[in-house]
Structure 1
């Protein structure tokens, strides 16, 4: 069930659920987004429960292509944000509370492996592979207070026939970034499950120019966390990705658009399925 304009309002909502290969999933989202370049407020509330398999790539010399690890992910978020400034030059400020829990037990099967990327046939993982994954599959929970700051300096340029022979497309030109910093807090703890102490950050950026018949755009994201009071203390779970796009409508063939994309991603010091 999904609606982008709930009962004719600017609120959007989504509720979905079903079965996965090893369990169930449920996702609920209720949000009020920024309205184009004029909205000053946004809010979001979401809940996620998902039981599924996470696939690890294995070296070719192992004799297997992937290891499959049962995973249960539960998370929730409540956040509020505002923008100050004017259209085309906004400053973003936000505050939120989030909770994420990962668990790996109480499944009918443990870690399994497959050969030659055949996901229809499984077998129990050898002990050496289970031992190699042991540090990745420890139950954990993180409750964080999150602070967001960002800047959006975006204008729009209209281009005709960019993605088709007819019609126009608004190109966001300029730049924007947002930085999220989350600090773990002692909230919703139990005697059996203690909140992991860490400092989390997430940085996202976008930039584009559109000179002449060209469009050049790029996006980047980077996130990680610094774990405290743990044998794994230090910077962990660092993930990054980037995209570079370019499109060109040659003057001699205006009915055609040439497009190229270059992307990359990487992860360092990961301590859990990502």
Structure 2
């Protein structure tokens, strides 16, 4: 039986981590400005209470639930005999700095103020999220306000956001009662979103303009419910989703010259057929059936995404399928209704190899409309984090990615270059319809500064990849392109999950161009998932059994 539950709530900075008196004083002053996570919030996340029988599984699940919050740098739950036949439980948490003024300055060919964000992630220590954001990167120039809580009516997640981008306004709202850890049996979702954004096509020198910007309006209504069966850690999921999806193109395409997205011009002349084919308006009400299975146990790893951060990783596999029927009902005036069949497959696995980790994932979707398979999208990754116990300061990161699209009727284009592609290439170099990329990176942790104050390391990396044209606007067959580089990785405070990178990459072999310097955040992150962003922005169906 659990006789007592004690909380050890640690603030952001540890004054004892440094021998410099001035720095220690600064840490204490900063901690005074920070509101620590409230005891009531932490206790509500626990799946047990005083008087319950001690269950090690519920203890580990509670630790994982706490660890999942971005405003906590880590959580650890331990227990010991109380000398009277019971268990005394200790819950230790350490906060991340929750009040943030994030000035997202990056350097990627030019100096960019990509983001100005004022955020409170843990208002009054209760997990309430409030944010104002200004984002400006290439075709995106958006301002938005958002408010969210993980504790609306118990354990329901709620969020609302309103903002404006270059082509118009956008609104997003959701309520989600998720499966609680591995013990929850039911999940319900409701969501509504609408807005107009630009889809940007790179021409990569094949036209006098550098980008074609297509304004795309999308409105989605979603109602979902799912139930989980079986034992915790070895469960089956069955769910249903009802959606209403409207896609329109409310204005003419525009073009940008060079990197100037502030002075857009109308598209010169008529749209070419290869571009018009991807601007198909549609509306459909769809009913989806989701089936999936999870086989997971959780183990703590250190220094995967960051330098010294700790993260609970699910070892095992997930496999799921979603399929259903669309009906062309409730279509707005002037928008064609669509009757189609569609399907989606998604699977992931994570497996330990000694102290190393292997991870892979695959997502593929398509629909059948008037006897023809269309909008086939595929995205797959294989990732390895390799460690040698004799070289504990080194982590070898390997990633192989393939992605592609076929017969697309929505805006779609991949790009080989950029910070999430071949890093020695400028943004939007080599547009294509299908892509293969390979990355190898040696991440080295420096023994200084002293653990507890800050994290510092470096990386040496190489990228190689290519695109094939397919049936995509302005696409090319690039041939194999590659680059090598070196970078500095910085995490502050120590054990943070947020790592900044200062990288310089050099083209090699047949790859043309100048060295590219980038100052960005870490993009290869296990916690965020591995996927190709250019595929994600074109997905028609982005819900499966794994999202409950």
After TM superposition, is the score higher than 0.5? yes
Aligned to 2:257: 115
Aligned to 1:240: 378
Structure 2 counterparts to residues 149-160 of structure 1, below 5 A: 149-160=291-302
Aligned to 2:141: none
Q: Distance in 2 between matches of 1:214 and 1:221?
A: 24
Q: Is the 8 A contact 2:234 2:296 kept in 1?
A: yes
Q: Distance in 2 between matches of 1:162 and 1:134?
A: 43
Q: Is the 8 A contact 2:327 2:337 kept in 1?
A: yes
Structure 2 counterparts to residues 224-263 of structure 1, below 5 A: 224-228=366-370, 233-263=371-401
Q: Distance in 2 between matches of 1:55 and 1:200?
A: 26
The counterpart of 2:245, out of the listed 100, 104, 108, is 100
Q: Distance in 2 between matches of 1:61 and 1:163?
A: 38
Q: Distance in 1 between matches of 2:303 and 2:202?
A: 41
Q: Is the 8 A contact 2:284 2:329 kept in 1?
A: no
Q: Is the 8 A contact 2:284 2:330 kept in 1?
A: no
Aligned to 1:63: 208
**2:353 match: secondary structure:** coil
Gaps of at least 5 residues in structure 1 are none
Aligned to 1:268: 406
- Segment drifting more, 252-261 vs 28-37: 252-261
- Pair 1:222 & 2:364 matched: yes
- Pair 1:88 & 2:233 matched: yes
Aligned to 2:183: 38
* Larger CA Rg, structure 1 vs 2: 2
Q: Distance in 1 between matches of 2:198 and 2:305?
A: 37
- Pair 1:13 & 2:158 matched: yes
Kindly provide the CA deviation profile for residues 165-218 of structure 1, in whole angstroms up to 9, marking residues without a partner as x. Answer: 756432211111111112013542466445201111111110111021110001
Structure 2 counterparts to residues 16-31 of structure 1, below 5 A: 16-31=161-176
**2:394 match: secondary structure:** coil
Return closer, same or farther for 1:194/1:69 CA change in 2, 3 Å cut-off.
Answer: closer
TM value normalised by structure 1: 0.89
- Segment drifting more, 189-198 vs 71-80: 189-198
Q: Is the 8 A contact 1:48 1:75 kept in 2?
A: yes
Q: Distance in 2 between matches of 1:166 and 1:140?
A: 48
- Segment drifting more, 176-185 vs 165-174: 165-174
Return closer, same or farther for 1:58/1:163 CA change in 2, 3 Å cut-off.
Answer: closer
CA-based RMSD = 2.1
Aligned to 2:346: 204
Q: Distance in 2 between matches of 1:48 and 1:216?
A: 36
Q: Is the 8 A contact 1:179 1:204 kept in 2?
A: yes
Q: Is the 8 A contact 1:165 1:255 kept in 2?
A: no
Q: Is the 8 A contact 2:283 2:331 kept in 1?
A: no
Q: Distance in 1 between matches of 2:379 and 2:309?
A: 32
Return closer, same or farther for 1:198/1:117 CA change in 2, 3 Å cut-off.
Answer: farther
**1:52 match: secondary structure:** strand
Gaps of at least 5 residues in structure 2 are 1-146, 412-537, 539-548
- State the aligned residue count: 266
Aligned to 1:173: 315
Q: Is the 8 A contact 2:284 2:328 kept in 1?
A: no
Aligned to 2:149: 3
**1:126 match: secondary structure:** coil
Greater per-residue strand proportion: 1
The alpha-carbon deviation at position 102 of structure 1 amounts to: 0.8
The alpha-carbon deviation at position 234 of structure 1 amounts to: 0.5
Aligned to 2:35: none
Q: Is the 8 A contact 1:208 1:215 kept in 2?
A: yes
TM value normalised by structure 2: 0.46
**2:275 match: secondary structure:** helix
Q: Distance in 2 between matches of 1:252 and 1:25?
A: 52
Q: Distance in 1 between matches of 2:307 and 2:377?
A: 39
